Amino acid sequence: MLSLLACFVSSQFSRHEPGVTHVLVTGGAGYIGSHAALRLLKDSHRVTIVDNLSRGNLGAIKVLQEQFPEPGRLQFIYADLGDAKAVNKIFSENAFDAVMHFAAVAYVGESTLEPLRYYHNITSNTLVVLEAMAAHGVNTLIYSSTCATYGEPEKMPITEQTPQVPINPYGKAKKMAEDIILDFSKNSEMAVMILRYFNVIGSDPEGRLGEAPRPELREHGRISGACFDAASGVITGLKVKGTDYKTPDGTCVRDYIDVTDLVDAHVKALNKAEPGKVGIYNVGTGKGRSVKEFVEACKKATGVNIKVEYLARRPGDYAEVFSDPTKINHELNWTAEYTDLQESLRVAWRWQKAHRNGYGTAPLAMAS
């Protein structure tokens, strides 16, 4: 009986079904990818997550499996996108309608220390995914890119026409991947959406998912994670790197986008993707907030008077970055709704307090 059920489930993922969109979510065990998978599943899509768990969490997959246990809804495949043979096997055994490509190492500071890792993981692995899509006739790609491809523009806000002059290996690797996708799309009928997003914060409003980076990566992580670590006593205080930028208070200015809004942009992009067409969109609020402002909001959200230490600049960083979201507003009918910085941090802090050890270790069913 069990083998028959397994065969039935497998066949659901291996065939196209009218009215059902089967989305491959690469990096779906990670922070943003898991939130995207949750939204896709809520919207009744069929989801296959591929992740090598180098940055993702098994616990996030377990949460998704518990939320959507029905046969044919969700499967998880442990694989590395750098393994072209494994990737082609995945594509040959599954009937994908679209790919949301999140999988990537994504820390600016780390990229300056380990550039080759970033070019391999981001640029080379994207090429592997694109080749598999072309070989197996999967013609819709939603690509997770970044405002880091713009570097440090002379004018704010950043539009999609702002020149891309990345200043760190993370941004350079993402731009190279974009270039590969765009060059390929010129002679294909692939529907391509490239989303360049800004600084992601927040977590699932219902408290199911959150951000749980590995302890050894904390020093490279997002400022929100560092704020929460300081608030919970994991670290003695917050280290703010750079106070001499040409900004109103000397600290970096960023556009903080809530992860719930970000995944909504991905879904709208998927729904609007058209064969043979390319859409490129900035995903941000359109408002810049300084690091000092962010820290004050985090203190209020956590109720902790976080100790702050100011240090020299971090290599590869830039002074001021915020978006002009006009294009995505008009073309995809998308607008950021979760724009209260303190509230986004409060929601994320609630998850952090309930998950002191992140997701922990959790058993789950794995395909291979």
Cα atoms found within 13 Å of the Cα of residue 123, Cβ hemisphere only: 18
Tell how far CA 297 is from the center of its chain.
23
Do residues 74 and 64 lie in contact, with contact meaning Cβ atoms separated by under 8 Å?
yes
Question: In Å, what is the CA distance from 294 to each residue of 26, 96, 297, 344?
Answer: 30, 40, 5, 11
In sequence order, what DSSP letters do the residues of 23-42 get, joined into one string? EEEETTTSHHHHHHHHHHHH
Cα atoms found within 13 Å of the Cα of residue 158, Cβ hemisphere only: 29
Distance CA 170, CA 52 (A): 19
Indicate if the alpha-carbon torsion angle 96, 100, 103, 104 is positive or negative.
positive
Distance CA 221, CA 109 (A): 9
- Comparing CA positions, the residue from 236, 368, 229 lying closest to residue 302 is 229
What tokens appear for 302 in the block?
């956590």
Contacts of residue 238, Cβ cutoff 8 Å, sequence gap at least 6:
226, 227, 230, 295, 306, 307, 308, 309
- Comparing CA positions, the residue from 39, 12, 14, 18 lying closest to residue 269 is 39
Instruction: Report helix angle 169-185 to 125-135, nearest 10.
Output: 20
Do residues 252 and 319 lie in contact, with contact meaning Cβ atoms separated by under 8 Å?
yes
Question: Is 170 one of the catalytic residues?
Answer: yes
Contacts of residue 325, Cβ cutoff 8 Å, sequence gap at least 6:
282, 283, 284, 285, 286, 334, 335, 336
Q: Which of 31, 107, 119, 170 is catalytic?
A: 170
E strands along the chain, which residues?
22-26, 46-51, 74-78, 98-101, 140-146, 191-197, 199-201, 238-241, 253-254, 256-258, 278-283, 289-290, 308-311
Question: Known catalytic residues?
Answer: 170
